[in-house]
Amino acid sequence: MTVYITQTSHFFPNEPVSNDEMESYLGMVNGKPSLARRIVLSKNGIKSRYYALDKEGHVTHTSVQMAANAIHGLEDEHFSIDDADVLAYGTASPEYVMPSPGVMVHGELGGKNNMEVVSFQGSCCTSMQALKYAWMSIQSGVASNVICAASERMSAWMNSNYFKVEAENIEKLQKRPILAFEKEFLRWMLSDGAAALLLRDKPSAEGLSLKVEWVELCSYANEKETCMYAGGDKREDGQVDGWAMFSGEDWLKKSIFALKQDTRELGANIVELGGEFLRKIAKKHNMKSEDIDWLLPHLSSMFFREQIKTKLDAIGLPIGDEHWFINLPRIGNVAAVSALAMVDDIFHSGKLQKGQHLLMMIPESARFSYGYAFLTVC
């Protein structure tokens, strides 16, 4: 069964937030401007992003509401929510321990349709996991219309209030003048939004569609220790203790629910492992550089662009700058949403022509997972 992406949509809350406005929304830790903010922003290349917050720090949209808004954006005279057989949803910022975030999105959508719902919860690759489930659902013949969606309210992790108790630990601050850098680093990287794709068993009767040729996923958790995490704390030996191992007092004192990243593990592994997995995929599918008209790489930071280019050259898959499609500087790093948002952006850009091929490249640093998909414009 052939599978097509026939419609795409996105929802970004409120107005774009510039670099200089970020602390107006996220707040300053203990009333002091961040020492790390300008350093991180100078490297990541992000110029604006979106927050589901107002300047008083009040939440304007939940992650569930943003997902529902993006999904409703798929509706037109040819498709309504009540036509869907499956909702496949991914997120890195669930707002509930239970129920699963996907069924909460289904509840927000309302309508008359009881459907299969599957949730993927983790990090950036969750939207690719949702995409693969959606693709396989149609390929297997059990579904005709599948919604693939992702949403993030990463600003929930970034509020300055969650760092106050730790920042008051004078001894720790004296040892590490930049507040626990592995925790603050991500405050200036991540943002909010949602995106959705409609997958069907036939191409659109009007306009372009994207044929899903294949979706490949791989985890290196058997080899590598945890790099990015939340709801736990990393020990010296590299093991992570989950939130249930700590007292309620420690949840705040040690910022257990803050999002953290081991930047040493990130730099050593994220590009290298992604390149090696791509080498295997290219061989498996007999894919060459000339087969790729558009590369859609999820970059957490523009800092990694040159490293990725060097790795692509090394594995014999060089891709010229004119074939890269990147929206990171404009919409920010929206974690799991980023993969779908790139597809949505280029789908509506006017740049696509029938017969062109798109390669989606999605790295995930949590414990080093990777997702790639190959699409054909038709």
What long-range pairs does 76-83 form, CB within 8 A, spacing at least 24? 76/7, 78/204, 78/205, 79/6, 79/7, 79/145, 79/198, 80/111, 81/109, 81/111, 81/113, 81/147, 82/111, 82/112, 82/113, 83/113, 83/145
Cα distances (angstroms) measured from residue 260 to each of 94, 174, 279, 298: 16, 20, 30, 19
User: What does the pLDDT read at residue 178?
Assistant: 37
Largest CA distance in the chain: 65
Top-confidence residue, 301 or 312: 312
User: What does the pLDDT read at residue 235?
Assistant: 87
| pTM of this structure | 0.92
Q: What is the β-pairing status of strands 116-121 and 86-91?
A: parallel
The pLDDT of 315-339, averaged and rounded, is: 97
User: What does the pLDDT read at residue 238?
Assistant: 83
3 state DSSP class of 26: helix
Do 11 and 70 contact (CB within 8 A), yes or no?
yes
pLDDT above 90: residue 194: yes
Cα torsion angle, 228, 229, 235, 238, sign: negative
User: What does the pLDDT read at residue 165?
Assistant: 57
The pLDDT of 69-94, averaged and rounded, is: 95
User: What does the pLDDT read at residue 325?
Assistant: 98
Do 278 and 319 contact (CB within 8 A), yes or no?
no
Q: What is the β-pairing status of strands 192-200 and 4-11?
A: antiparallel
In this structure, of 52-56, 247-251, 280-284, the range with the lowest mean pLDDT score is 247-251
* Average of per-residue pLDDT values in the chain: 90
User: What does the pLDDT read at residue 109?
Assistant: 96
Top-confidence residue, 197 or 111: 197
- Amino acid at position 312, single letter: L
User: What does the pLDDT read at residue 300?
Assistant: 84
Top-confidence residue, 344 or 177: 344
The pLDDT of 127-156, averaged and rounded, is: 97
Top-confidence residue, 212 or 233: 212
Cα distance between residue 224 and residue 120, in whole Å: 21
- Amino acid at position 89, single letter: Y
Cα distances (angstroms) measured from residue 62 to each of 13, 100, 154, 228, 237: 10, 15, 10, 23, 36
Tokens of 187: 């405050």
Cα distance between residue 110 and residue 139, in whole Å: 27
The pLDDT of 249-277, averaged and rounded, is: 85
Q: How far is CA 235 from the centre of its chain?
A: 26
Helical ranges in the chain per DSSP H: 22-26, 37-44, 63-72, 101-109, 126-139, 155-158, 164-167, 170-175, 181-184, 248-253, 263-285, 305-314, 328-331, 337-347
Cα distance between residue 16 and residue 258, in whole Å: 24
pLDDT above 70: residue 93: yes
pLDDT above 70: residue 174: no
User: What does the pLDDT read at residue 173?
Assistant: 41
Top-confidence residue, 108 or 97: 108
**What values do phi and psi take at 109, rounded to 5?**
-65, -35
Do 225 and 367 contact (CB within 8 A), yes or no?
yes
User: What does the pLDDT read at residue 71?
Assistant: 98
The pLDDT of 167-179, averaged and rounded, is: 45
Do 92 and 126 contact (CB within 8 A), yes or no?
yes
Top-confidence residue, 238 or 343: 343
